């Protein structure tokens, strides 16, 4: 059987939102009286991000979930189409070549979903197989890659993974809840897609995937469906939990390929926040240069949930050698993938 090789990537970003302008134009008023709010905002490590719904122009905080889901479909379709088309073009493939189309999201749902609507709009074949990776959160790109990679290897057909997240649709009502301040200071919108092909002689081969879930910390990160959109729960202990597991996860991943940390040429670490990157850097004994791409994506694009790590991976397009892709989310769950030169 042929290995699954990542041969193309694409992305689509909504309008850019300046972090300071978002604070001054909306969130300073939204969190008036919450003493720590501005300190959290200023320390998020974000300069600019992207939003299909700019809170300075429109306040969605009282919208019902149904209205938010309808808006998701409206906004996600053109973004997803642009990201997938870009990835296919980079791989030199046509929509008709695709055997599996997988979509990962935790920010919007409809049936028929993005998978069906985009497949039709892009001209993918009617016999296309489809997969939805739903509500897993920030780490969903990696189990998505694993599933897509298994299909490519088993069926010898190309496949596409799209991560499309529109967190700006889930601005919550003004309450004295620091979890919401943190979420609104970090999260952003983006669509990112990758193409995997069987046995390609160019690109990066998916060489391994490792997962770890610490069920004893399930309440540390939550993403609840409410009548007013989706609501984040976030414990300040998340970095401490990650620090206990990240070393073992990376060791297991690299041991399977006979590699050591110092053999890794690139690190695509999900920038969940500045402290997350600090923990990964310190626990693995990395230098600041190894997490620079992740910090740059956080600063320029914010935390785009599952799409973020694919944006970081695109920052590392010119890196020659093994690349570790790593993301974290509810569970608490850590996922890591190893990409090797094909």
CATH of residue 164's domain is 3.40.47.10
Q: Is 138 a catalytic residue?
A: yes
Residue 33 banded pLDDT, cuts 50, 70, 90: confident
Looking at residue 236, what is its pLDDT?
86
Task: Work out the mean pLDDT of the chain and round it to a whole number.
Answer: 96
Asked whether the predicted pLDDT for residue 1 surpasses 80, the reply is no
Residue whose C-alpha is closest to residue 333's, from 257, 249, 254: 249
Predicted TM-score (pTM) of the model is 0.96
pLDDT over 80 (residue 167): yes
Averaged pLDDT, 276-288: 97
Q: What is the pLDDT of residue 176?
A: 80
Determine the pLDDT at residue 31. 92
| 35 pLDDT more than 90 | no
- Confidence band of 234 (pLDDT split at 50, 70, 90): confident
User: How much of the chain exceeds pLDDT 90, in percent?
Assistant: 92
CA 286, CA 278: separation in Å to the nearest integer?
A: 10
Q: Is residue 263 domain-shared with residue 172, that is, in the same domain?
A: no
- 232 with 214, same domain: the answer is yes
pLDDT at 78: 99
Which among 138, 163, 164, 304 is annotated as catalytic? 138
Domain count, the chain: 2
Q: Are residues 131 and 279 in the same domain?
A: no
Last residue in a domain, options 198, 222, 239: 198
CA 185 – CA 19 distance, rounded (Å): 8
- Same-domain status, 128 and 182: yes
Domain that holds residue 68: 4-198
**185 and 248 share one domain:** no
Q: How far is CA 266 from CA 240, 258, 263, 290, 299, in A?
A: 24, 17, 9, 7, 19
Residue 235, pLDDT score: 84
61-91 residue pLDDT tens: 999 999 999 999 999 999 999 999 999 999 9
């Amino acid at each position: 059987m042929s290995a699954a090789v990542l041969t193309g990537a694409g992305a689509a970003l909504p309008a850019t939102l300046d972090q300071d302008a978002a604070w001054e134009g909306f969130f300073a008023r939204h969190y008036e009286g919450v003493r720590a709010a501005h300190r959290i905002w200023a320390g998020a490590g974000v300069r600019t991000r992207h939003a299909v719904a700019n809170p300075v122009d429109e306040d969605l905080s009282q919208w019902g979930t149904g209205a938010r889901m309808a808006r998701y479909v409206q906004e996600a379709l053109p973004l997803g189409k642009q990201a997938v088309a870009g990835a296919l073009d980079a791989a030199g493939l046509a929509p008709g070549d695709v055997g599996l189309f997988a979509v990962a999201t935790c920010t919007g749902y409809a049936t028929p979903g993005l998978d069906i609507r985009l497949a039709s709009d892009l001209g993918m074949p009617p016999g296309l197989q489809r997969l939805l990776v739903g509500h897993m959160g920030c780490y969903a790109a990696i189990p998505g890659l694993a599933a897509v990679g298994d299909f490519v290897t088993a069926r010898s057909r190309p496949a596409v993974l799209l991560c499309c997240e529109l967190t700006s649709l889930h601005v919550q009502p003004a309450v004295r809840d620091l979890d919401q301040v943190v979420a609104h200071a970090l999260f952003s919108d983006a669509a990112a897609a990758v193409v995997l092909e069987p046995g390609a002689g160019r690109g990066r081969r998916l060489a391994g995937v490792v997962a770890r879930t610490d069920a004893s910390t399930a309440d540390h990160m939550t993403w609840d469906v409410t009548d007013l959109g989706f609501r984040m729960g976030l414990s300040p202990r998340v970095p401490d939990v990650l620090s206990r597991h990240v070393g073992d996860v990376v060791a297991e991943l690299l041991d399977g390929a006979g590699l050591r940390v110092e053999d890794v040429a690139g690190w695509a670490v999900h920038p969940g926040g500045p402290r997350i990157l600090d923990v990964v850097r310190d626990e693995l004994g990395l230098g600041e240069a190894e997490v620079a791409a992740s910090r740059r994506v956080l600063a320029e694009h914010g935390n785009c949930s599952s799409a973020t790590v694919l944006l970081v991976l695109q920052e590392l397009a010119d890196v020659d050698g093994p690349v570790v892709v790593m993301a974290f989310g509810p569970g608490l769950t850590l996922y890591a993938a190893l990409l090797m030169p094909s």
